[in-house]
Structure 1
Amino acid sequence: MDEHYVWVTTRRLRPGTLEEFERAWRPAPAPQGLRRAYAYWSEDGQEITGVSFWESRDACDSWRTSEPEAQRRAAMAPYVVEEREGFYRGRELAVPGAGRG
Protein backbone atom coordinates (compact mmCIF):
# COMPACT_ATOMS: atom_id res chain seq x y z
CA MET A 1 0.00 0.00 0.00
CA ASP A 2 1.15 3.50 -0.79
CA GLU A 3 2.28 5.74 2.02
CA HIS A 4 0.73 9.22 2.16
CA TYR A 5 2.06 12.48 3.58
CA VAL A 6 -0.80 14.41 5.12
CA TRP A 7 -1.18 17.86 6.70
CA VAL A 8 -4.31 18.27 8.85
CA THR A 9 -5.50 21.63 10.16
CA THR A 10 -8.61 22.16 12.28
CA ARG A 11 -9.81 25.69 12.88
CA ARG A 12 -12.60 27.00 15.06
CA LEU A 13 -14.19 30.01 13.38
CA ARG A 14 -16.00 33.08 14.57
CA PRO A 15 -19.77 32.51 14.25
CA GLY A 16 -21.20 33.39 10.84
CA THR A 17 -17.84 33.73 9.04
CA LEU A 18 -17.55 30.40 7.17
CA GLU A 19 -18.23 31.93 3.74
CA GLU A 20 -15.67 34.73 4.20
CA PHE A 21 -13.17 32.27 5.64
CA GLU A 22 -13.50 29.95 2.64
CA ARG A 23 -12.74 32.81 0.24
CA ALA A 24 -9.52 33.56 2.16
CA TRP A 25 -8.63 29.88 2.63
CA ARG A 26 -8.13 28.70 -0.96
CA PRO A 27 -4.56 29.15 -2.19
CA ALA A 28 -4.04 30.38 -5.74
CA PRO A 29 -2.20 28.98 -7.50
CA ALA A 30 -2.19 25.51 -5.95
CA PRO A 31 0.99 24.73 -4.00
CA GLN A 32 3.65 22.68 -5.75
CA GLY A 33 3.66 19.08 -4.48
CA LEU A 34 0.02 19.17 -3.34
CA ARG A 35 -1.74 16.01 -4.57
CA ARG A 36 -5.24 16.32 -3.07
CA ALA A 37 -7.07 18.47 -0.56
CA TYR A 38 -10.34 18.06 1.31
CA ALA A 39 -12.37 20.29 3.62
CA TYR A 40 -14.80 19.07 6.24
CA TRP A 41 -16.93 21.40 8.36
CA SER A 42 -19.25 21.03 11.31
CA GLU A 43 -23.01 21.44 10.89
CA ASP A 44 -22.93 24.82 12.63
CA GLY A 45 -20.12 26.06 10.34
CA GLN A 46 -17.90 26.98 13.26
CA GLU A 47 -15.24 24.30 12.82
CA ILE A 48 -13.47 23.34 9.63
CA THR A 49 -10.86 20.66 9.09
CA GLY A 50 -8.58 20.72 6.06
CA VAL A 51 -6.78 17.56 4.98
CA SER A 52 -4.10 17.88 2.31
CA PHE A 53 -2.05 15.10 0.72
CA TRP A 54 1.52 15.91 -0.36
CA GLU A 55 4.12 14.19 -2.51
CA SER A 56 6.66 14.53 0.35
CA ARG A 57 7.31 16.11 3.72
CA ASP A 58 9.70 18.55 2.01
CA ALA A 59 6.99 19.70 -0.41
CA CYS A 60 4.63 20.37 2.49
CA ASP A 61 7.30 22.13 4.56
CA SER A 62 8.28 24.27 1.57
CA TRP A 63 4.68 25.46 1.21
CA ARG A 64 4.18 25.97 4.95
CA THR A 65 7.17 28.35 5.10
CA SER A 66 6.40 30.19 1.84
CA GLU A 67 5.35 33.82 1.49
CA PRO A 68 2.07 32.90 -0.29
CA GLU A 69 1.13 30.70 2.70
CA ALA A 70 1.99 33.52 5.12
CA GLN A 71 -0.29 35.85 3.13
CA ARG A 72 -3.05 33.24 3.07
CA ARG A 73 -2.83 32.77 6.84
CA ALA A 74 -2.98 36.55 7.37
CA ALA A 75 -6.12 36.69 5.21
CA MET A 76 -7.75 33.90 7.28
CA ALA A 77 -6.75 35.31 10.68
CA PRO A 78 -9.76 37.63 11.21
CA TYR A 79 -12.11 34.61 11.08
CA VAL A 80 -10.12 32.11 13.20
CA VAL A 81 -10.61 31.71 16.95
CA GLU A 82 -8.40 28.63 17.44
CA GLU A 83 -6.17 26.46 15.26
CA ARG A 84 -4.63 22.99 15.62
CA GLU A 85 -2.43 21.39 12.99
CA GLY A 86 -0.11 18.48 12.42
CA PHE A 87 1.79 16.49 9.81
CA TYR A 88 1.26 12.74 9.49
CA ARG A 89 2.38 9.75 7.47
CA GLY A 90 -0.01 6.92 6.83
CA ARG A 91 -1.76 4.67 4.36
CA GLU A 92 -5.25 3.71 3.31
CA LEU A 93 -6.80 0.93 5.35
CA ALA A 94 -8.45 -2.01 3.66
CA VAL A 95 -12.07 -2.22 4.73
CA PRO A 96 -13.45 -5.78 4.58
CA GLY A 97 -16.37 -6.07 2.19
CA ALA A 98 -15.92 -2.58 0.73
CA GLY A 99 -15.54 -3.03 -2.99
CA ARG A 100 -13.84 -0.47 -5.15
CA GLY A 101 -15.73 0.43 -8.15
Structure 2
Amino acid sequence: MQEHYVWVTTRRLQPGTLEDFERAWRPEPAPQGLHRAYAYWSEDGQEITGVSFWDSRESCDAWRGSESEARRREAMAPYVAEEREGFYRGRELSLPSATRG
Protein backbone atom coordinates (compact mmCIF):
# COMPACT_ATOMS: atom_id res chain seq x y z
CA MET A 1 0.00 0.00 0.00
CA GLN A 2 1.16 3.49 -0.80
CA GLU A 3 2.19 5.69 2.12
CA HIS A 4 0.84 9.24 2.25
CA TYR A 5 2.21 12.38 3.90
CA VAL A 6 -0.59 14.48 5.33
CA TRP A 7 -0.85 17.88 7.02
CA VAL A 8 -4.05 18.37 9.05
CA THR A 9 -5.16 21.72 10.43
CA THR A 10 -8.33 22.28 12.44
CA ARG A 11 -9.43 25.84 13.09
CA ARG A 12 -12.26 27.18 15.21
CA LEU A 13 -13.49 30.33 13.51
CA GLN A 14 -14.88 33.57 14.87
CA PRO A 15 -18.71 33.41 14.60
CA GLY A 16 -20.06 34.45 11.21
CA THR A 17 -16.69 34.58 9.42
CA LEU A 18 -16.70 31.38 7.33
CA GLU A 19 -17.12 33.17 3.97
CA ASP A 20 -14.37 35.68 4.75
CA PHE A 21 -12.11 32.88 5.97
CA GLU A 22 -12.70 30.85 2.78
CA ARG A 23 -11.53 33.78 0.65
CA ALA A 24 -8.34 34.13 2.73
CA TRP A 25 -7.23 30.49 3.04
CA ARG A 26 -6.66 29.50 -0.60
CA PRO A 27 -2.90 29.36 -1.28
CA GLU A 28 -1.38 31.46 -4.06
CA PRO A 29 0.58 30.12 -5.83
CA ALA A 30 -0.21 26.41 -5.45
CA PRO A 31 2.46 24.84 -3.24
CA GLN A 32 5.08 22.59 -4.86
CA GLY A 33 4.73 18.99 -3.71
CA LEU A 34 1.03 19.34 -2.81
CA HIS A 35 -1.01 16.54 -4.41
CA ARG A 36 -4.51 17.14 -3.01
CA ALA A 37 -6.25 19.25 -0.42
CA TYR A 38 -9.65 18.93 1.22
CA ALA A 39 -11.63 21.13 3.60
CA TYR A 40 -14.39 19.92 5.91
CA TRP A 41 -16.76 22.27 7.76
CA SER A 42 -18.90 21.69 10.83
CA GLU A 43 -22.62 22.20 10.30
CA ASP A 44 -22.54 25.46 12.26
CA GLY A 45 -19.66 26.82 10.13
CA GLN A 46 -17.48 27.52 13.15
CA GLU A 47 -14.92 24.77 12.70
CA ILE A 48 -13.00 23.81 9.58
CA THR A 49 -10.52 20.98 9.11
CA GLY A 50 -8.08 21.09 6.21
CA VAL A 51 -6.34 17.93 5.02
CA SER A 52 -3.51 18.22 2.49
CA PHE A 53 -1.54 15.38 0.87
CA TRP A 54 2.16 15.98 0.10
CA ASP A 55 4.90 14.12 -1.75
CA SER A 56 7.19 14.40 1.32
CA ARG A 57 7.58 16.01 4.71
CA GLU A 58 10.28 18.26 3.20
CA SER A 59 7.83 19.66 0.61
CA CYS A 60 5.29 20.40 3.32
CA ASP A 61 7.92 22.01 5.56
CA ALA A 62 9.19 24.14 2.66
CA TRP A 63 5.66 25.46 2.06
CA ARG A 64 5.02 25.99 5.77
CA GLY A 65 8.17 28.15 5.96
CA SER A 66 7.49 30.12 2.77
CA GLU A 67 6.60 33.79 2.48
CA SER A 68 3.43 32.84 0.57
CA GLU A 69 2.24 30.74 3.52
CA ALA A 70 3.12 33.53 5.96
CA ARG A 71 0.96 35.96 3.93
CA ARG A 72 -1.88 33.43 3.79
CA ARG A 73 -1.78 32.88 7.56
CA GLU A 74 -1.76 36.63 8.13
CA ALA A 75 -4.85 36.99 5.93
CA MET A 76 -6.65 34.19 7.83
CA ALA A 77 -5.70 35.38 11.33
CA PRO A 78 -8.61 37.81 11.91
CA TYR A 79 -11.12 34.96 11.43
CA VAL A 80 -9.40 32.26 13.53
CA ALA A 81 -10.16 31.83 17.23
CA GLU A 82 -8.13 28.64 17.75
CA GLU A 83 -5.88 26.41 15.63
CA ARG A 84 -4.47 22.88 15.96
CA GLU A 85 -2.22 21.27 13.37
CA GLY A 86 0.00 18.27 12.80
CA PHE A 87 1.90 16.24 10.21
CA TYR A 88 1.13 12.54 9.74
CA ARG A 89 2.16 9.55 7.66
CA GLY A 90 -0.39 6.90 6.82
CA ARG A 91 -2.00 4.51 4.35
CA GLU A 92 -5.41 3.97 2.89
CA LEU A 93 -7.35 1.36 4.85
CA SER A 94 -8.60 -1.79 3.15
CA LEU A 95 -12.23 -2.23 3.98
CA PRO A 96 -13.63 -5.74 4.30
CA SER A 97 -16.06 -6.87 1.62
CA ALA A 98 -19.73 -6.62 2.52
CA THR A 99 -21.18 -9.97 3.47
CA ARG A 100 -24.39 -11.11 1.87
CA GLY A 101 -27.11 -12.57 4.04
TM-score (norm 2): 0.95
Distance in 1 (alpha carbons) for counterparts of 2:39 and 2:53: 12
The alignment partner of 1:61 has SS state of helix
Distance in 1 (alpha carbons) for counterparts of 2:91 and 2:23: 30
- Name the structure 1 match of 2:86: 86
Could you report, residue by residue, the CA deviation over 1:69-97 in whole angstroms, capped at 9, with x for unpaired residues?
00000000000000000000000000112
Runs of 4 or more, structure 1, over 4 Å off, are none
Distance in 2 (alpha carbons) for counterparts of 1:48 and 1:17: 11
Choose 1 or 2 for highest CA Rg. Answer: 2
RMSD of aligned alpha carbons? 0.8
Structure 1: gaps (5+ residues): none
- Name the structure 2 match of 1:9: 9
- Name the structure 2 match of 1:31: 31
- Name the structure 1 match of 2:70: 70
The alignment partner of 1:78 has SS state of helix
Distance in 2 (alpha carbons) for counterparts of 1:12 and 1:82: 5
Amino acid at match of 2:95: V
Amino acid at match of 2:5: Y
TM-score (norm 1): 0.95
The alignment partner of 2:63 has SS state of helix
Q: CA deviation at 1:29?
A: 1.6
Distance in 2 (alpha carbons) for counterparts of 1:79 and 1:72: 12
Amino acid at match of 1:16: G
Structure 2: gaps (5+ residues): none
